[in-house]
Protein backbone atom coordinates (compact mmCIF):
# COMPACT_ATOMS: atom_id res chain seq x y z
CA UNK A 1 0.00 0.00 0.00
CA UNK A 2 2.85 2.43 0.82
CA UNK A 3 4.41 1.78 -2.57
CA UNK A 4 1.14 2.58 -4.36
CA UNK A 5 0.82 5.83 -2.39
CA UNK A 6 4.39 6.84 -3.20
CA UNK A 7 3.90 6.18 -6.92
CA UNK A 8 0.62 8.11 -6.95
CA UNK A 9 2.29 11.07 -5.23
CA UNK A 10 5.20 11.04 -7.70
CA UNK A 11 2.82 11.05 -10.65
CA UNK A 12 0.77 13.89 -9.18
CA UNK A 13 3.76 16.28 -8.89
CA UNK A 14 4.28 18.60 -11.86
CA UNK A 15 7.39 18.08 -13.99
CA UNK A 16 8.62 21.61 -13.16
CA UNK A 17 8.91 20.68 -9.49
CA UNK A 18 12.43 19.56 -10.32
CA UNK A 19 13.55 23.13 -11.05
CA UNK A 20 16.68 24.00 -9.12
CA UNK A 21 17.79 27.35 -7.78
CA UNK A 22 21.20 28.20 -9.22
CA UNK A 23 23.39 31.30 -9.09
CA UNK A 24 25.83 33.15 -11.30
CA UNK A 25 28.65 35.18 -9.76
CA UNK A 26 30.41 38.03 -11.57
CA UNK A 27 32.69 40.97 -10.76
CA UNK A 28 32.60 44.52 -12.10
CA UNK A 29 35.09 45.44 -13.47
CA UNK A 30 35.91 41.97 -14.73
CA UNK A 31 39.67 42.56 -14.31
CA UNK A 32 39.96 43.99 -10.77
CA UNK A 33 43.06 45.80 -9.56
CA UNK A 34 44.71 45.47 -6.17
CA UNK A 35 43.29 48.05 -3.73
CA UNK A 36 40.40 49.12 -5.98
CA UNK A 37 36.78 48.70 -4.95
CA UNK A 38 35.06 45.97 -6.94
CA UNK A 39 31.36 45.06 -7.15
CA UNK A 40 30.56 41.38 -6.73
CA UNK A 41 27.21 40.41 -8.26
CA UNK A 42 25.08 37.36 -7.61
CA UNK A 43 22.16 36.53 -9.92
CA UNK A 44 19.80 33.74 -8.81
CA UNK A 45 17.78 31.84 -11.38
CA UNK A 46 15.68 28.70 -11.84
CA UNK A 47 16.59 26.04 -14.40
CA UNK A 48 13.89 24.11 -16.21
CA UNK A 49 14.18 21.39 -18.83
CA UNK A 50 12.62 22.25 -22.16
CA UNK A 51 9.38 20.45 -23.06
CA UNK A 52 11.29 18.40 -25.66
CA UNK A 53 13.60 17.11 -22.90
CA UNK A 54 16.66 19.09 -23.94
CA UNK A 55 18.45 21.34 -21.51
CA UNK A 56 17.67 24.12 -20.27
CA UNK A 57 15.60 27.23 -19.80
CA UNK A 58 16.89 29.83 -17.33
CA UNK A 59 14.41 32.07 -15.53
CA UNK A 60 15.52 34.86 -13.18
CA UNK A 61 14.52 34.18 -9.59
CA UNK A 62 13.26 36.98 -7.34
CA UNK A 63 13.92 35.15 -4.09
CA UNK A 64 14.49 36.30 -0.54
CA UNK A 65 17.31 34.01 0.43
CA UNK A 66 20.23 34.60 2.81
CA UNK A 67 22.93 34.33 0.14
CA UNK A 68 26.51 33.96 1.32
CA UNK A 69 29.49 34.91 -0.80
CA UNK A 70 33.13 34.39 0.09
CA UNK A 71 36.43 35.56 -1.36
CA UNK A 72 39.36 33.17 -1.02
CA UNK A 73 42.76 34.86 -1.33
CA UNK A 74 45.75 33.33 -3.13
CA UNK A 75 47.03 32.25 0.32
CA UNK A 76 43.73 30.55 1.24
CA UNK A 77 42.33 33.18 3.59
CA UNK A 78 38.50 33.27 3.43
CA UNK A 79 36.67 36.61 3.71
CA UNK A 80 32.90 37.07 3.72
CA UNK A 81 31.37 39.45 1.19
CA UNK A 82 28.02 40.87 2.28
CA UNK A 83 25.58 40.99 -0.64
CA UNK A 84 22.22 42.74 -0.65
CA UNK A 85 19.41 42.87 -3.16
CA UNK A 86 19.75 45.84 -5.52
CA UNK A 87 16.98 47.90 -7.12
CA UNK A 88 16.86 45.13 -9.70
CA UNK A 89 15.10 42.34 -7.78
CA UNK A 90 17.07 39.71 -9.70
CA UNK A 91 20.53 41.02 -8.73
CA UNK A 92 22.34 40.94 -5.39
CA UNK A 93 25.58 42.91 -4.98
CA UNK A 94 28.31 43.73 -2.51
CA UNK A 95 31.59 45.67 -2.57
CA UNK A 96 34.97 44.10 -2.01
CA UNK A 97 38.57 45.34 -2.13
CA UNK A 98 41.20 42.80 -3.20
CA UNK A 99 44.18 43.57 -0.95
CA UNK A 100 46.75 41.43 -2.78
CA UNK A 101 47.36 40.54 -6.41
CA UNK A 102 47.09 36.97 -7.62
CA UNK A 103 44.49 34.28 -8.33
CA UNK A 104 41.38 34.70 -6.15
CA UNK A 105 38.30 32.50 -5.88
CA UNK A 106 34.80 33.88 -5.30
CA UNK A 107 32.22 31.35 -4.20
CA UNK A 108 28.69 30.89 -2.91
CA UNK A 109 29.37 28.25 -0.23
CA UNK A 110 25.77 26.96 -0.10
CA UNK A 111 26.51 25.29 -3.47
CA UNK A 112 29.74 23.63 -2.23
CA UNK A 113 31.78 21.64 -1.66
CA UNK A 114 31.56 20.33 -5.25
CA UNK A 115 29.89 23.50 -6.61
CA UNK A 116 27.17 23.02 -9.17
CA UNK A 117 28.13 22.72 -12.81
CA UNK A 118 24.53 22.78 -14.01
CA UNK A 119 23.75 24.64 -17.22
CA UNK A 120 24.52 28.32 -16.66
CA UNK A 121 25.60 27.91 -13.02
CA UNK A 122 28.62 29.85 -11.78
CA UNK A 123 28.61 29.57 -7.97
CA UNK A 124 32.42 29.54 -8.04
CA UNK A 125 34.57 31.76 -10.22
CA UNK A 126 38.31 32.35 -10.34
CA UNK A 127 39.71 35.75 -11.15
CA UNK A 128 43.18 37.23 -11.46
CA UNK A 129 43.83 40.46 -9.58
CA UNK A 130 46.69 42.59 -10.91
Block means of pLDDT (10 residues each) for the chain, 130 residues, are 39 47 94 96 90 82 93 97 96 97 96 79 93
What pLDDT, on the 0 to 100 scale, is given for residue 10?
A: 35
Would you call 31 helix, strand, or coil by DSSP?
coil
Cβ pair 32, 49 in contact under 8 A: no
What pLDDT, on the 0 to 100 scale, is given for residue 18?
A: 54
Cβ pair 43, 67 in contact under 8 A: no
What pLDDT, on the 0 to 100 scale, is given for residue 35?
A: 96
What pLDDT, on the 0 to 100 scale, is given for residue 3?
A: 40
What pLDDT, on the 0 to 100 scale, is given for residue 121?
A: 84
Residue 73: partners with Cβ closer than 8 Å, 6 or more residues away: 79, 99, 100, 102, 104
What pLDDT, on the 0 to 100 scale, is given for residue 4?
A: 40
Q: Which helix (H) or strand (E) holds 58?
A: strand 57-60
Amino acid sequence: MKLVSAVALALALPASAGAALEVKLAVVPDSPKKGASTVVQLRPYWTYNRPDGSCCVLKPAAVSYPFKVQAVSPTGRVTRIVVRRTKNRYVWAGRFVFRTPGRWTLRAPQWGPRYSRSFGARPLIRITVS
